[in-house]
Amino acid sequence: MNVTELVIKANAASKKIANASTTVKNNILIKLKEILAENAGKILSENAKDVDSATKKGTKGAFLERLTLSQKKIDVMIEGIDDVIKLSDPIGLVLSGWRRPNGLQINKVSVPLGTIGIVYESRPNVTIDAAILCIKSGNATVLKGGSEAINSNRILTNCIREAIQANGLSPDIVCFIDSTERNSIDELMSQRKYVDAIIPRGGAGLIDYVVTNSKVPVIETGTGNCHVYVHEAADIEMARRIVINTKTQRPGVCNAAEKLLIDRSVIDKLPLFIADLKAKNVELLGCPEVHKLDSSIPLASEQDLYEEYAELKMAIKVVDNLSHAIDHINKYNTKHSEAIVTTNYQAGQEFCDRIDAAALYINASTRFTDGFEYGFGAEIGISNQKIHARGPMGLMELTTYKYIVRGDGQIRG
């Protein structure tokens, strides 16, 4: 079946899921939990094919980690489904309402976006996250995963479709583009008549390609060139814990920190951070002052300051003060997540007020920029843009609204 046929089927099915009750949508998710648990062995077997193929091609590091499933990751998927089941249905909410002097009652009511195309790379768990959020928010979805995860995504989609069909709805509510050809993405992005939005999830190359070439409106998820700034009034021990967590807990994800800024007034504490990072095998780059302090640390280039490494690599820069740190971050960041460590309330507030990013942290790790950590159950992605959605996107970010106007015969003069 070609992409056009798939999106036509998904669009037709979207009309059914849009009006499904909360009970029906939750029952689909409950059934999906059962099917995933029953088929865990088969899922891991199919995933092993993908991992083996990627390994033979020389893939390693964070990419391979994202691709690889385990029983624990399947258990986490199931827990995520449980969390989404517990969330309130976002559809049919009266977001606001008012009565006009002529007696018209105007209500602004939440509705699904419609049919959503999800284009993503090496993480099979996105198949589940995207599907369950779209189902709960009343949307149909067309999934296009990366070729490296084709076997994993195929079996996970089959599980989802089985759960939908078991509850009396069309399985085409979730469709899967079972192709490894790049032109299938182009065909999906051309389907403006049937697809209401495209959401890309992956590296900068994929996201830029979709934003540049899609004829369908794009909700842009972004890369994360995230910073941690150690302010002059920082609790140094707290800062050390935060820096290690933001860089090393999962270095391949978009909310991991890529840059460490340290205030000149506490530069004498920098060797502590360097030692901590080296102990975790983090490759370090630095500004001239950092290199002077530790000649084993190469100089960071201008390009380095813009780069999202997505690996155990970090650049360090000494800044003069809070204002210098803010200016630096606003120049080089990707508007994702930024953190300050400080005991000074006003400094933390100024940092948050002046920095342009989707998520700002005072004395906490940027690794918390995540739909699950924000209580959304799961996320469809993290948006760096400002139109429609920003930050972790959960159920409400997959809705739009319409106006319902009630009258008793009013006509406009």
Of the listed ranges 36-45, 282-291, 366-375, the one predicted with least confidence: 366-375
How much is the pTM?
Answer: 0.88
Residues 200, 120: contact at Cβ < 8 Å?
A: yes
Mean pLDDT across 344-372? 96
Q: Where are the domains of the chain?
A: 3-220+385-406, 226-368
C-alpha dist (Å) from residue 323 to 304, 347, 352: 21, 10, 12
**Residue 408 tokens, joined:** 């008793």
Q: Of 360, 399, 400, 392, which is closest to residue 376 (Cα–Cα)?
A: 392
Q: Which CATH fold would you assign to the domain 226-368?
A: Aldehyde Dehydrogenase; Chain A, domain 2 (3.40.309)
Question: In this predicted model, what pLDDT tens digit does every residue of 281-317 receive, in sequence order?
Answer: 999 999 999 999 999 999 999 999 999 998 999 999 9
pLDDT the model gives residue 226: 98
Mean pLDDT across 39-64? 92
pLDDT the model gives residue 308: 94
Residues 160, 128: contact at Cβ < 8 Å?
A: yes
C-alpha dist (Å) from residue 352 to 296, 326, 395: 34, 9, 26
Task: Looking at 258-321, list the stretches that DSSP marks H as alpha helix, in order from N- to C-terminal side.
Answer: 270-279, 288-293, 302-306
pLDDT the model gives residue 237: 98
* Neighbour count for residue 42 (Cβ, 10 Å): 12
CA torsion angle for 76, 79, 85, 91 (degrees, to 10)?
A: -30
Residues 313, 342: contact at Cβ < 8 Å?
A: no
State the pLDDT confidence band at 216, using cuts at 50, 70 and 90: very high
Q: Percent of the chain at pLDDT above 70?
A: 100
CATH number of the structural domain 3-220+385-406: 3.40.605.10
Mean pLDDT across 352-374? 95
